[in-house]
C-alpha cells in the first residue's frame, strides 16, 4: 500500500527556507510572489493491505518520527 505523508510547518512558525525561496523568486523577476512556505513529503510503501490499519500505523509513525508535532502538522493520504 502506498501512503503519502505531507508535513508542513504550523502557522506562525518562522520558515527561513520559505523566505529564501520567496527572495530568490523575486530576484529572478517573479514580482507577484506574496508568500512561500516549504514543507516535505514522505512516500511510504507498506506491506499492510488494509487502508484503515495503514492510516493507524502511519499516524503512529508521524507522532514518533516523521513530524515534530510541536511545530509541524502532518496529513496522511492513502494512495492505494
Distance CA 72, CA 80 (A): 25
Size of the site for its own copies (CB under 8 A): 32
Nearer of residues 64 and 80 to its own copies, judged by Cβ: 64
Contact positions with its own copies (CB under 8 A) in 25-54: 25, 28, 30-48
Residue 14, interface with its own copies (CB under 8 A)? no
Positions in the binding site for its own copies (CB under 8 A):
6, 8, 18, 21, 24-25, 28, 30-48, 57, 60-61, 64-66
Amino acid at each position: 500500500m502506498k501512503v503519502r505523508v505531507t508535513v508542513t510547518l504550523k502557522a506562525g512558525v518562522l520558515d527561513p527556507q520559505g523566505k529564501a525561496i520567496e527572495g530568490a523568486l523575486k530576484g529572478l523577476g517573479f514580482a507577484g510572489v506574496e508568500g512561500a512556505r516549504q514543507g516535505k513529503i514522505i512516500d511510504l510503501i507498506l506491506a499492510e493491505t488494509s487502508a484503515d490499519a495503514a492510516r493507524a500505523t502511519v499516524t503512529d509513525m508521524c507522532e514518533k518520527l516523521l513530524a515534530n508535532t510541536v511545530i509541524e502538522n502532518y496529513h496522511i493520504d492513502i494512495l492505494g
